[in-house]
Amino acid sequence: MNLFRFRTIQSNIAAALAFLIVIMAVVMGFIAYRLSTSAVQRTAQEFTAELIKQVNANIQSYVNNMENTSLLVLNNRGVRNYLSGESDDDASVTDFLKTIMLSRKDIASIGVFGYNGRFVSDGGIGNMNPNVSVPDQSWYRQAREGQGKVVISPSHVQPVFDDYRWVVSLSREVRNADNSRGLGILLVDLNFSVINDILSGIELGKRGYVFIVDQGGRIVYHPQQQLLYSNLKQEKIDEALALGSGSFISDEGGQSRIYTVQDSGFGWKIVGVSYVNELVNNKGQMQTSFVTLGGISLVVALLLSFLLSRNLSRPIHQMQKHMSEVEKGNFDIQVPVDSTREIGMLARAFNLMVVRIRELMAQVVKEQEFKRKSELNALQAQINPHFLYNTLDSIVWMAENNKSAEVVRMTSALARLFRASISKGSELVPIRNEIEHISNYLTIQKMRYRDKLDFHIDADDGIKHFLTLKVLLQPLVENAIYHGIKNKYGTGVIRISGEREGETIVLRVCDNGVGMDEEKRKTLLTPGASPAEGRGVGLINVHERIQLYFGAAYGLSIVSAPDEGTTVVVKLPAVDKSGKEGES
């Protein structure tokens, strides 16, 4: 993607950082949000469970009260006697029931209905509904079947008494003293309003509610009972029944509900229903704050990454600026060394490099200068006025003695000598040319010195095409003549030989002159240590020229001993015209 490709380091670093930060912020935010959401949800769920438990305890206590009341009646001898027909004192039973009722505001009515048709209630017989058949009531039938077991009804309208109250009925069979047969049915009605008051007062979020079902799935209480009956709403009654106690979440998307079920122990299940999206009451608020916080930290982090990347790339930028200065040729600069380790090291190395380049350039300049000087020297050596004068003097002397043939020889040798040295201005010449040059030179000298000088030139033909410096041998030969042979008694012989040794060309100039001692030999090739008489000036010049052109591996070396002659060894690389290496 071209969009995310940057050319500068700064942009790259900033983009990478920004990308990382965005990912981190999103992931962390999401995790934090999920964690806190589930934490809030868990707390809310626990709270609901606790609340439902409380409700259950309340309802349980009412039911227990009913049961206690029923026991009170069951164990009353007067009630049993009246039902069994042993006594006709219905007034005392009514008074007994009335007394119980006085202490219990939550109980709507108490009635005892004998199988023999006798009945009595706390209100006597006056409040009975004549149009309702008591034995047809479900609480009556179930209690009769139960044979003494407690039966608790769902909430219903009690039609037996003519005030049509909503009640929860507890009914059980009254049995005779030895528990051998049933005498009738005892009914204790709990005012349903007490349960209604408990349940309708419960707040489970804004929309949550509590409902109760009995074990048969009949609704005991539901705030939206009518909506359920007319199918405007569905309730997860079966799921709640299947669950003993605990909770589950209905999967209804945004309207998902958490059902917290509590088994009451007497057949009812109390179910708290709360809406998931509401449990986390301030979910939206939480989301907003998370997003806002994330946004702010994002902006701050991005700014930081921008600044950081700029700080990182600034020294690089600076260095690049200095480098472009160097590119332009300005070597007189130093990059300020940055405190950052890597960049600082780079700057130091760069500074060193610039210094080194500066030094090398100075050296090159110096060497060039020296080269030119040494060439000049070589040129001077070639046209040494002394030599010319002496040669011409010899020619004049020979001419005066009518030795015309010798005059011709010498003159032509002189002419060839000069022609050989005029080699198209090039500094390097084939060894062949140099040999020819030196033989001309020696021919002239030999004619001058006659018996005092003889020479032999013996170079391999195989090396003649290799290159050498111009006028290389002449100073060496000159040296051999003037300092070795001239002071010698008898004939001096100069031998010039050349051969190849591997990649090296070795030329030797060998004389049998006076030679020199070791001390003197050592000083010969040491610059600045040359003796005043001038011997060695030519040698050093040649030595340095060779080293300048071909490197320190090449040059002159001298082997000598007093009265034994001197050998100057020239080492040159084997370079011919095709492989022009070493020519700078």
Residues that bind another protein (CB under 8 A): 3-4, 6-8, 10-11, 14-15, 18, 22, 25-26, 129, 131-132, 154, 156-157, 159, 162, 164, 166, 192-193, 196, 206-207, 218-219, 223-227, 229-230, 232, 254, 277, 283-284, 287-288, 290-292, 294-295, 298-299, 302, 306
Any residues with CB less than 8 A from the CB of 296 and at least 6 apart, and which? Answer: none
DSSP 81: H
Q: What DSSP assignment string belongs to 223-240?
A: TTHHHHHTTSS---HHHH
Report the amino acid identity of residue 563. Answer: D
Q: How far is the CB of 212 from another protein (least distance, A)?
A: 13
Shortest spacing between CB 163 and another protein, in angstroms = 9
Q: State which residue, 44 or 575, has the beta carbon closest to another protein.
A: 44
**Closest separation in Å from C-beta 51 to another protein:** 17
Separation CA 221–CA 210 (nearest Å): 8
> Which residues of 82-213 form beta strands (DSSP E)?
107-114, 119-121, 151-157, 166-175, 182-191, 209-213
Tell me if 539 sits within 8 A of 476, measured CB to CB. yes
Are 481 and 492 a contacting pair, CB within 8 Å? yes
**Phi-psi category of residue 424: left, alpha or beta, with phi > 0 → left and psi -120 to 50 → alpha:** left
Min dist. Cβ of residue 546 to another protein (A):
54
Closer residue to another protein in complex, CB, 287/390: 287
Tell me the closest approach of the beta carbon of residue 19 to another protein, in angstroms: 9
Q: Compare residues 61 and 289 and give the one whose CB is closer to another protein.
A: 289
**Beta strands per DSSP E along 94-177:** 107-114, 119-121, 151-157, 166-175
Q: Smallest distance from the beta carbon of 555 to another protein, in angstroms?
A: 55
Nearest to another protein of 7, 386 (CB atom): 7
Considering beta carbons, is residue 297 or 497 the nearer one to another protein?
A: 297
β partners of residue 173: 185
The CB-of-76 to another protein minimum distance in angstroms stands at 30
Q: How far is the CB of 22 from another protein (least distance, A)?
A: 5
Q: Which is nearer to another protein, 124 or 159 (CB)?
A: 159
Quote the Cα angle for 62-167-232, to 5°. Answer: 110
The residue with tokens 């690389």 is 573
- Helix, strand, coil in percent for the chain, rounding step 5: 55, 20, 25
Whether 508 contacts 568, CB under 8 Å = yes
Nearer to another protein, 279 or 438 (CB): 279
292 versus 311: smaller Cβ distance to another protein: 292
Instruction: Select 167 or 174, whichever has its Cβ closest to another protein.
Output: 167
Minimum Å gap between C-beta 221 and another protein is 10
Shortest Cβ distance from residue 145 to another protein (Å)?
Answer: 19
When the beta carbons of 16 and 493 are compared against another protein, the nearer one is: 16
Determine how many CB atoms are found less than 10 A away from the CB of residue 75.
Answer: 9
Q: How many CB atoms lie within 10 A of CB 430?
A: 17
Rounded distance between C-alpha atoms, residue 385 and residue 379, angstroms = 11
Rounded CA separation 269/265 (Å): 8
Q: How far apart are CA 262 and CA 271, in angstroms?
A: 6
